[in-house]
Amino acid sequence: MRLTKIMTTLLSGLPTTLTLLIFSFIFASVIGVCLAWLSLRRNPVAKGLARGYLGLVRGTPPLLMLLLAYYGLPKLFLLVGIDINDWAKLLFGIAGLSIGWSAYLSEAFRSAYLSVDPGQYEAALVVGMDASHAFWRILMPQTLLIALPNVENLLIGLVKATSLVYVIGIMDMYNTATDLSNQNQGVYQLEIFVVLAFIYWLVVLAIEWGFRQIRKDYQYVTV
Amino acid sequence: MLLELKNLKKTFKNNHVLKGIDLAVKEGEVIAIIGPSGSGKTTMLRNINFLETADAGTMTLRQKRIDMAAPTQEQVLWTRRHMAMVFQNYNLFKNKTALENISEGLIFGQNKSKEEAETLASRALDQVDLLDKKDFYPSQLSGGQQQRIGIARATVLNPDIVLFDEPTSALDPELVGTVLRDMKRLAERGQTMIVVTHQMAFARDVADRVIFFADGQIIEQGSADDVFDHPQHERTQRFLSAIAEDY
């Protein structure tokens, strides 16, 4: 089998992989920020809720998280009278990965927030900003910059974790590869998986490049 | 009186840091507060602008009386908008340029337009001779430059009082002079200032009144000549004789 054939077949799964990656990352970040906010509250209930979710999610393998999302979420939603059985598999894949990665991202955001120099907040207050402006103008941007290396690592981890969605039958790049391999009775297995690894590596390189650009833009901001 | 503090008290756990401070500040007055480390000088400044909340005490600023132990959010904001502070470690916003550091308070504290804020910020930068650094981030500036921008950030707000918390303590000795020069200029323009400092020469040169602080209390106060040349209290004498500096 020609390399170009392998390449084009595998690339047909790339949009699904990227869709999973982008949406899971967005939702995981949103949930992660909310979790970090909860766990930084003084309120013990809020803190407890966040810590409980974190413990549970971090203690569950991502593969299992996908299965739980796929089989569990429809049952959970049915309890409140919403039928999501007809949702596309892709949505369950995104849900599973988002839940899994939200816990890691929330810890990245929380630790970054705690690393911001408290003097920055005080300086914002003494120039007359209220707490909300101080947060959005000064603390939040610095938190994001501190969290950047961790977030980059987690995003790269998520690229690889998208391959786990084969377990609920989503035809992402990895599943396309195993499918192609099976169709050929495993004859071109090695070639197929080397090409697959190469494509994943390119995706990771693109992410690394993107983060390098962000770092370059903020090279003089030493937080 | 522009500012009057009465019976300001603050305790951290069992440590009585401020034991009932009374202080009155006239418009245009420059007050230097000297004293050993840990005597409560910085804590007093931080209580005045509510970065910490006192256990007891009242503050009257521009005839407005505020219970320092239980200020309302509105009073806190009002006070901060009438005062400015220069920190020991500069505390410039690390994610903002020099110009933005100065304009930010004008825009978000005083609701000025971006254009107006930037014009005022440029002028303030010019006054500390750093207009050419307006697009630089704090990490690109020396400690002395950062502190002078800290001073510009404080004064651009046109505050009634500027609080200085050991503004030269974190600087290399060779950079201290430029910062003190800017502070002196400010004093000459009639700015009311409360300066916590270890720079005795500056206190003697610029301050209208020197206050010696120890163990959470004002031990002695008077003109620089009185305090430095004829200290009345034994604790002041001991402190001054322990200082190697020629003041």
Instruction: Flag the least confident range among A81-85, A162-166, B200-204.
Output: A81-85
Nearest CA in chain B to A132: B108
Q: Which helix (H) or strand (E) holds B5?
A: strand B3-12
Please give the DSSP secondary-structure letter assigned to residue A60.
S
Its CATH architecture, for the domain A3-217, is Orthogonal Bundle (1.10)
Instruction: Flag the least confident range among A28-32, A116-120, B203-207.
Output: B203-207
Report the alpha-carbon distance of residue A206 to residue A124 in Å, rounded: 36
Of A119, A130, A141, the CB nearest to B95: A141
Which residue numbers of A have CB closer than 8 Å to B's CBs? 117, 119-120, 122-130, 133, 137-138, 141-142, 145, 218, 220-223
Chain B nearest CA to A111, separation (Å): 18
Judge whether B153 and A127 are in contact, CB under 8 Å.
Answer: yes
ipTM of the complex: 0.91
Residues of A in contact with B85 (CB under 8 A): 126
Q: What is the pLDDT of residues A20-37, one digit of tens each?
A: 999 999 999 999 999 999
Report the alpha-carbon distance of residue A36 to residue A39 in Å, rounded: 5
Residues of B in contact with A124 (CB under 8 A): 93, 104
Q: In which band, very low, low, confident or very high, does the pLDDT at B174 lie, cut at 50, 70 and 90? A: confident
Instruction: Tell whether the model's pLDDT for residue A3 goes beyond 90.
Output: no
Residues of B in contact with A118 (CB under 8 A): none
Q: In which band, very low, low, confident or very high, does the pLDDT at A137 lie, cut at 50, 70 and 90? A: very high
Q: What is the pLDDT of residues A43-62, one digit of tens each?
A: 999 999 999 999 999 999 99
B95–A117: do the CB atoms touch at under 8 Å?
no
Instruction: Tell whether the model's pLDDT for residue B188 goes beyond 60.
Output: yes
Give the alpha-carbon dihedral of B47, B52, B57, B60, to 10 degrees. Answer: 50
Q: What is the pLDDT of residues B214-238, one digit of tens each?
A: 999 999 999 999 999 999 999 999 9
Interaxial angle between packed helices A14-39 and A173-183, expressed in degrees from 0 to 180 and rounded to the nearest 10 = 140
Domain ranges of chain B: 3-91+161-242
Judge whether A92 and A73 are in contact, CB under 8 Å.
Answer: yes
B91–A138: do the CB atoms touch at under 8 Å?
no
Q: Which pLDDT score, from 0 to 100, does residue B175 have?
A: 85
Q: Which pLDDT score, from 0 to 100, does residue B222 have?
A: 95
Side by side, which strands form the sheet with B64-67?
A: B15-25, B3-12, B56-61, B64-67
> Tokens in use for A162?
């998208």
Q: Which pLDDT score, from 0 to 100, does residue B244 have?
A: 59
Q: What is the pLDDT of residues A150-170, one digit of tens each?
A: 999 999 999 999 999 999 999
Its CATH architecture, for the domain B3-91+161-242, is 3-Layer(aba) Sandwich (3.40)
Scan for tokens 């003697």, then name that residue: B204
Half-sphere exposure of B4 (CA within 13 A, CB side): 7
Residues of B in contact with A122 (CB under 8 A): 51, 87, 91
Q: What is the mean pLDDT of chain B?
A: 93
> Tokens in use for A37?
């906010």
Q: What is the pLDDT of residues B43-72, one digit of tens each?
A: 999 999 999 999 999 999 999 999 999 999
Q: What is the pLDDT of residues B107-122, one digit of tens each?
A: 999 999 999 999 999 9
Judge whether A200 and A172 are in contact, CB under 8 Å.
Answer: no
Mean pLDDT of B15-31: 95
Q: Which pLDDT score, from 0 to 100, does residue B231 have?
A: 92
Chain B nearest CA to A104, separation (Å): 25
- Please report which residue ranges of B67-212 form alpha helices under DSSP H: 73-82, 98-108, 114-127, 143-155, 173-188, 200-206
Mean pLDDT of B9-35: 94
Residues of A in contact with B88 (CB under 8 A): none
